[in-house]
Amino acid sequence: MRIVVLVKPVPDATGQERLGPDGRLDRSAAPPVLNGNDEYTLEAALRLADSQGAEVTLLAMGPAGSQDALRKGLAMGAARAVLVTDLALAGSCALSTMEVLAAALRAIPFDLVLAGADSADGGGGVVGAGIATLLDLPLVSGAAAIDAAGEAAVRVRRIAGGGEETVEVPLPAVVVGTQLLGEPRYPTLKGIMGARAKEMAVRSLADLGLAPGDVGGAAATTVVLAQRPPAARAAARVVREAPDAAAREIVDLLIARGAI
């Protein structure tokens, strides 16, 4: 099985995330890291690689300099990475992102595309579904477990409504994952070393047969008009007592504030 995992390089959440004057994310403010939700789908792909011999390719769209973030995915166990990067892509909206990634996928042989639930920066959560639409592929969202079902299908346990359901989808298909897929593995030292030798292909818009005016910032369908940081919260109070004393103190505190 050939799996492409969509991964997004996002600013490290431990850094200072900020928007530039154009309302776009200032990507120079913090080094890019792999989007957290994408690590869960990558983990699911790597488990299929471990059990089924699947081959895992990372596909990302991001600014030049995103290679270090992708390198972590390679260190975790992906076989290769493809980075679509082009100056014209700055300011891309979700639709542009789907179109670019779909164009990249047309040049990569695959059976299964995995996407994370959403990204830590944009948070749109629509790119996986959009790609399925553009490529006319079946889509399963909310995946909590993904297993091979013979050669040409996967069985997906998904979160639906208040419960779960299990569906089988023929390949090729797009599956959008959740954090229930399982904790992402840490790269081993051997994996980190091995990642240096793995293929990291870089593609421009021209390589994908796309014109700069058709996608990217010039063709953005949404523009950020205003921004507001989240309201500051009062400092948390940490109760450092033994569990029984701490429980009493917390209950007293909640009563004093009228919360219970």
Partner 1 sequence: MPASSRAFVLRHTRLRPVPGLEEVRLHLADEVLALWRAAQVETGDPDAPLPYWAFAWGGGLAIGRWLREHAEAVGGRRVLDLGSGSGLCAIAAARAGAAGVTAVDIDPFAVAAIALNARANACRVAVIGRDLLDEEPPDVDVVLAGDCWYDARLAGRVLPWLRRARARGSEVLVGDPGRRHLPTGGLVELAAYAVRTTTELEDLDLKTGRVFALRDALSAS
Binding residues (CB under 8 A) for partner 1: these are 186, 188-190, 193-194, 196-197
Amino acid in the structure at residue 13: A
CB of 185 to partner 1, least distance (A): 8
Query: What tokens were used for 149?
Result: 């079902």
- In angstroms, the CA 75 to CA 193 distance is 7
How many CA atoms does the CB half-sphere of 33 hold within 13 Å? 14
Cα–Cα distances in angstroms (integers) from residue 205 to residues 19, 71, 181, in the given order: 25, 22, 33
Nearer residue to partner 1 within complex by CB, 27 or 71: 71
- In angstroms, the CA 147 to CA 36 distance is 22
Quickly list H helices, 6-124. 36-52, 67-76, 94-106
Nearer residue to partner 1 within complex by CB, 91 or 184: 184
Query: What tokens were used for 83?
Result: 């980075």
CB of 189 to partner 1, least distance (A): 4
Nearer residue to partner 1 within complex by CB, 155 or 185: 185
Could you give the 3-state DSSP secondary structure of residue 87?
helix
CB of 10 to partner 1, least distance (A): 20
Q: Are 221 and 95 in contact (CB under 8 A)?
A: yes
Nearer residue to partner 1 within complex by CB, 166 or 186: 186
Nearer residue to partner 1 within complex by CB, 232 or 242: 242
